[in-house]
């Protein structure tokens, strides 16, 4: 008969700890404060500028926190802290210029905003007399609306062909390549193309708002095509197959099943494409021209737009120059506000058209 003896239980001192030493939760904040202090001292003692002091503070933060972590927590945590510090630095590098830009535009443009600024044009305005952006605002709305009317049907139908009809097709591959090329063309090339096209019909020196719409549509179409194409690809093939199994023709499947399912992404892509081209200046300088009067006719004479108004107000401010600069900053603030509203509208419309899930 074998007697099994119990082995003695290990003492608490022999067990391995499950956790190691850790830095306190406020360690990153403390390292950031120390880095800012070093940058501030460098700015005061050495006479360094704000940019140099900020750069020195960033370097100190990226070095101090990982070194402190390596001394207390070990190499693995130190590497993790280093990567986290670099991520925060990258975030600041992206956010700080954006807020700086917004603050500059708001601080310089807000004094120009008034009811008269939105309801007066620059016709017969001299010196510091009251003038506004009414004519440029009307031109921007009309030209962008016309460009949207041209671009959206062309872009959506092209995307439908690429996804629904041109799978593994040589023509579809060629169209995809050309769309990718058009995505990267400079905007001034689009303006030159529109000008050359209208010169064939109306002769040299032609300036029309519809020409600006054609130039902007060349920049919008690739964005609409690519965004719509990606949204159509996300529609499950099972939905198409279920419609075909019920005897629904292909065109009706596309209009009643595929497009409604992808409508959220399509509308968002179209809205973002509008926001992308509404601030273009070069093509409108070439083909739409400049005027100080209100023009509601896209097919007759020059038409002012906000980007062109900003360009001429800053390069040719008149006397006194401060009035022209103030109008330029005010128009820039209005243009940024329109772009921001379009982005918010894209999100709202995207949620409104999103397929409803659940019961």
Work out the number of other CB atoms within 10 angstroms of the CB of residue 37.
12
Tens-of-pLDDT digits for all 359 residues of the chain?
455 555 555 554 455 455 667 778 788 888 888 888 888 887 787 776 777 888 888 888 888 888 888 888 888 888 888 888 889 888 988 898 889 889 999 999 898 888 888 888 888 776 666 778 899 999 999 999 999 999 999 999 999 999 988 887 888 889 989 998 888 888 899 999 999 999 998 888 888 889 999 999 999 999 999 999 999 998 888 988 898 888 889 889 998 889 888 888 888 889 888 988 998 888 999 998 888 888 898 888 889 999 999 998 888 877 778 888 888 899 999 999 998 888 888 888 777 776 665 54
Write the DSSP symbol of residue 247: T
Q: Residues with Cβ < 8 Å from 327, sequence gap 6 or more?
A: 112, 117, 131, 132, 133, 309, 313
Q: Which pLDDT does position 5 carry in this prediction?
A: 54
Write the DSSP symbol of residue 164: I
For the chain, domains (ranges, CATH) are 25-111 (no CATH), 134-353 (1.10.3720.10)
Distance CA 84, CA 66 (A): 10
Phi, psi for residue 92 in degrees, rounded to 5: -65, -40
């Amino acid at each position: 008969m074998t007697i099994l003896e119990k082995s003695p239980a290990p003492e608490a001192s022999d067990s391995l700890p499950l956790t190691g030493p850790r830095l306190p939760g406020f360690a990153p904040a403390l390292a950031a404060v120390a880095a800012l202090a070093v940058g501030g001292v460098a700015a005061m003692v050495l006479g360094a500028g704000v940019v140099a002091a900020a750069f020195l503070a960033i370097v100190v933060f990226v070095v101090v926190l990982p070194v402190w972590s390596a001394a207390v927590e070990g190499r693995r945590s130190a590497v993790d802290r280093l990567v986290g510090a670099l991520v925060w630095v990258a975030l600041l590098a992206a956010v700080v210029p954006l807020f700086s830009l917004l603050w500059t535009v708001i601080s310089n443009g807000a004094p120009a905003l008034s009811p008269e600024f939105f309801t007066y044009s620059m016709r017969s305005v001299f010196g510091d007399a009251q003038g506004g952006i009414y004519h440029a605002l009307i031109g921007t709305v009309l030209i962008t609306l016309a460009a949207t009317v041209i671009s959206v049907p062309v872009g959506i139908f092209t995307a439908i062909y690429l996804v629904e009809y041109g799978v593994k097709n040589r023509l579809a591959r060629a169209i995809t390549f050309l769309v990718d090329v058009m995505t990267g063309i400079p905007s001034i090339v689009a303006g030159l193309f529109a000008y050359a096209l209208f010169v064939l019909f109306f002769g040299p020196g032609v300036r029309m708002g519809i020409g600006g719409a054609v130039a902007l549509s060349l920049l919008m179409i690739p964005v609409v095509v690519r965004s719509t194409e990606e949204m159509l690809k996300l529609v499950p093939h099972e939905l198409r197959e279920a419609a075909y199994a019920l005897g629904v023709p292909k065109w009706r499947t596309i209009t009643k099943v595929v497009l409604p399912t992808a409508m959220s992404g399509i509308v968002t892509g179209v809205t973002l494409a509008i926001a992308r081209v509404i601030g273009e200046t070069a093509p409108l300088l070439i083909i739409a021209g400049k005027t100080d009067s209100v023009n509601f006719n896209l097919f007759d004479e020059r038409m002012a737009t906000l980007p062109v108004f900003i360009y001429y107000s800053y390069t040719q401010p008149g006397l006194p120059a401060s009035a022209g600069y103030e109008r330029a900053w005010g128009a820039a603030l209005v243009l940024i506000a329109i772009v921001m509203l379009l982005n918010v509208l894209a999100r709202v419309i995207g949620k409104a058209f999103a397929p409803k899930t659940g019961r």
